[in-house]
Structure 1
Amino acid sequence: MADHAPWTRDKALAIVESYRGQRGSLLPILHDLQHEFGFIDDQAVPLLANALNLSRAEVHGVISFYHDFKREPQGRTVVKVCRAEACQAVGADRLVEHAARRLGVPLGGTRADGAVTLEGVFCLGNCALGPTVMIDDHLHGRVDANRFDALAAPLAAQVSGDAR
């Protein structure tokens, strides 16, 4: 996962300013903020509301509606486990429990050391090859506990602090 800049109001304002005068710029600005900082800081809500002449509720509503906009920093590595019906039918729930134990992070959480985030998602579009896992941007099908352990071996080193 890419390294992200620390949140600063000045950097955020520069991103907002780059869209000055463009209609419908809230989503592109949010994407750029998340790309720059890795998440949408709470300080962005009033900043965007003011700059775009929107209410804070409107800005918050958009951020909270789209699952991919994160409100907190994510781990250096993001592990997504599909929890949709097709993957559940072939063991995704067991895989989620195994992944949480193996990575030392609860589903929906990020380790305190920032090494890894574990997310449950609903459909990675690989239904015929479930259970499916995405590690950062790499999709893996037919993942059982053993395959997960092999895929997560580099993460285990990160989690234990042996590698970065």
Structure 2
Amino acid sequence: MTDRSAFSPWDEARARAVIGALQDLPGACLPVLHALQAEFGYIHAEAIPLVAEALVLSTAEVVGVVEFYSDFRREPPAGSVIKICLADACRSMGSEALVAHIEHLAGTRMGETAVGAAIAIEPVYCLGNCALSPAISVGGRLHGRVTPEKASRLVAGQP
């Protein structure tokens, strides 16, 4: 499970330092955004203009990158993020039933995460684990051949 305490609270000076360390890389936008999310747990709204200024981009370009890539968050993360693969291979092996089961366990619907929630459920369209479908990721750890019973254990924090 993701530990929210692993992330720093938003701090503009710290964000500027993270950006400054990577801004000279070729194609720095993605590495900078990944580093900011690794530091703070999400891309804070105040980080967008800082990234744009440092990389000589418009704020719209930076927002476009953040919105395009589903791994970037614009809000602080839940305590644990569960990603459920909804690509064809996983769908054919029951991932839609897993969605309903995990939503019931978590008491929240996919894509509806309250700030500070214990669990967020996010759809993804390939976890690269097709041979072991249906696949989910819990707190960044990949799991295959997930049954409702296995999902219950994983949501509870058990292997």
**TM superposition score category, shorter chain reference:** 0.7 to 0.9
Aligned partner of 2:81 in structure 1 is: 78
- In structure 1, the gaps of 5 or more residues are 156-164
Aligned-pair distance for 1:110? 2.5
Tell me whether 19-28 or 112-121 shows the greater mean CA deviation: 19-28
TM-score normalized by structure 2? 0.88
Aligned partner of 1:102 in structure 2 is: 105
Aligned partner of 1:24 in structure 2 is: 27
Larger radius of gyration: 1
Aligned-pair distance for 1:21? 4.2
Equivalent pair of 2:76/2:115 in contact (CA under 8 Å): no
Q: Distance in 1 between matches of 2:26 and 2:98?
A: 44
Correspondent of 1:132 among 113, 118, 135 = 135
Aligned partner of 1:122 in structure 2 is: 125
Aligned-pair distance for 1:87? 0.9
Aligned-pair distance for 1:11? 1.0
Change (3 A) 1:107 1:28: same
> Alpha carbon RMSD of aligned pairs, Å?
1.8
**3-state SS, counterpart of residue 109 of structure 1:** coil
- In structure 2, the gaps of 5 or more residues are none
Q: Give 1:5-24 correspondences, 5 Å limit.
A: 5-24=8-27
Aligned partner of 1:44 in structure 2 is: 47
TM-score normalized by structure 1? 0.85
Correspondent of 2:149 among 143, 146, 155 = 146
Give CA deviations for 1:1-25 in whole Å, capped at 9, x if unaligned.
Answer: 2421111111111112223544432
Aligned partner of 1:161 in structure 2 is: none
Change (3 A) 1:90 1:19: closer
Aligned residue pairs, count: 155
Aligned-pair distance for 1:80? 1.0
